[in-house]
Amino acid sequence: AVARLEAEVRGAEAIEFPGTIEEDDPVIASETSLFRARRARLNEAVAALEQEIALARRQLALIEPLVARRSVSEVEQLKLRQQIAAKTGELTEMRNAYMQEAYGELVQRQSELAAELQVLEQRRDQLDRTRLISPVNGRVNAVHISTRGGVVQPGEAIMEITPGDDQLLVEARIRPKDVAFIAPGMPARVKITAYDYTIYGDLPATVEQISADTIEEETPRGKEAFYRILVRTERAHLVRGGNELPIRPGMVAEVDVISGQRSVLSYLLRPLLRARLN
C-alpha cells in the first residue's frame, strides 16, 4: 500500500515496488489493480471537466466578435468567463483532493508500518536472545546455570568454555609508569601460576590491545590504577612429557612483555641491578 500511495502522491504512471517483493507476489497484482482503478476514476472526472472547459472556451471565442458588434450582451461573455474559471478551479481542487487523500493515507500507513517494524525488531531481538553463541570455538568446561527458566543476571557467567583454537586471550594489568614501554605487537611470555614455571615453562604471546585509559581496582594496598592489556598466546596449553596440560578460564597468569631486549620486569629491577653493579 505504501508504494502505491507514494506513486499516487507523485502523480506517477506506475508503482515502483521495493526489490524485496517478488514479481509474482499477489500484493503486486492487487495494488496495481487498485492503483489503475483509482487513476481511471480520476482521469475520467478530469476528462469530463476539461471537456466542459474546452466547450466554454469555444463558445467564448464565438461570441467575442458578436459582443464587439454589440449583437450579444457582454453579460453572456462574462458568464462564460466565470464558467471557465469555476471549472478550472474545480479541476485543480479535484486533483489536489486526490493527492491529499493519498498523502493522508500514506502518512497513516507509514506510521503503522513504523510501529510494525518496531514490534518486529523487538521480536527479532527476543528471538536472538533465545540463542547463546560462544565467541570462540572450544569445549564446555562448566555450566553455571542449568535450571529450566532460570534467570541470568547482567554480567553473570552462564558457562565456561575452554578455547579449542590453540590460542588464549589473557587479560593483564600494567601500572601507569610501565605502560610507556608497551605497544601492541610486542612479544610477551605468559606464565600460568598453577603450573611451576621452572618445570612447565611458559607460553609465547603477543600484546594485542592496551586500554585507552586507566581503571581503578581495590588491592591489599588500597585502590590502585592500572592499564588493562590483552595478550594472545601462540598456543592454548603447556606441554610436559608429551602431555598437554589444560588451562581453564579464570586461572591466574603472570605476563612479561618484552620491550626491545628487556622485559618490563627488567625495567622494574633496573635500580636494583645498578646497585649490584656499583
Q: Tell me: the pLDDT tens digits for 155-213?
A: 788 887 766 666 788 888 988 988 888 899 999 999 998 898 888 889 999 999 999 89
For residues 123 and 36, state if they share a domain: yes
For residues 179 and 253, state if they share a domain: yes
Does residue 153 lie within any of the structural domains?
Answer: no
Burial of 222 from C-beta contacts in 10 A (0-12 / 13-18 / 19+): exposed
For residues 191 and 115, state if they share a domain: no
Q: Which amino acid is at 23?
A: E
Q: Which domain holds residue 218?
A: 159-277
Does residue 138 lie within any of the structural domains?
Answer: no
**Domain of residue 165, CATH code:** 2.40.30
Does residue 190 lie within any of the structural domains?
Answer: yes
For residues 19 and 124, state if they share a domain: yes
Give me the number of domains the chain comprises.
2
List beta partners, residue 263: 258
Half-sphere exposure of 192 (CA within 13 A, CB side): 25
Domain boundary among 129, 150, 167: 129
How high does pLDDT run on average in the chain? 82
For residues 120 and 195, state if they share a domain: no
For residues 106 and 190, state if they share a domain: no
For residues 125 and 163, state if they share a domain: no
Q: What are 71-108's pLDDT values in tens digits?
A: 888 888 899 889 999 999 989 998 888 888 888 888 88
